[in-house]
Structure 1
Amino acid sequence: MRSTCASPACSLSSTCPGFRSKLRVPELCRFYGIIIRMHYGDHAPPHFHATYGDQEALVSIDNLAILKGRLPPRARGLVVEWAALHQSELREAWDRAARREELVRLEPLR
């Protein structure tokens, strides 16, 4: 298992918050081969994880910029388009995840 934690101190150790959060990472949405997830109790700034194939990016909820990682240009464009449509729902999901409450699945991009 590879870690996806954005912390510079991240390792594959079970003491790493990113490693622990991979144990149960809610999937918010899936479309065109892209998987959108949000970790419980993740670090600021508010963001979500977008995975396409073996590539992953952390995407800011506030400005939809890639914070870390990368996606192919087409997948990146689809993620930003989807996130723009669901930005307020993503903010709500971030708040719920911070309180470790159940997250609601969001509609896919059609």
Structure 2
Amino acid sequence: MPEISRFFGIVIKIYYEDHPPPHFHAEYGEHEALIDIRTLVVIGGHLPPRALGLVVEWASQHQTQLLVL
């Protein structure tokens, strides 16, 4: 799975031909969550609240680019 970003110990990865809905994977330590790109809602897994807040903030700033991947 290609890594597209890394910040504050959080790794963002995305499969280009993955199942719907369009989403990315966020990993933080032993935690992982799948985030819907359109709604920025967790659709699987779990992240600690602070890490999730950083991921959602990052995703909101890059949402347009994520939708075209």
TM-score class normalised by the smaller sequence = over 0.9
1:28 equivalent to 2:4? Answer yes
Runs of 5+ in structure 2 lacking a partner? Answer: none
TM-score normalised by length of structure 2: 0.97
Matching residue within 10, 13, 23 for 1:37: 13
Deviation at 1:61, TM superposition (A): 0.3
TM-score normalised by length of structure 1: 0.62
More strand by share: 2
Q: Root-mean-square deviation (CA), in Å?
A: 0.5
Distance 1:71 1:39 in 2: 19
Runs of 5+ in structure 1 lacking a partner? Answer: 1-24, 94-110
Matching residue within 58, 61, 65 for 2:41: 65
Distance 1:40 1:65 in 2: 19
Partner of 1:55: 31
1:84 equivalent to 2:60? Answer yes
Letter in 1 for 2:50: R
The runs of at least 4 consecutive aligned structure 1 residues that moved more than 6 Å come to none
Letter in 2 for 1:65: V
Distance 2:59 2:2 in 1: 16
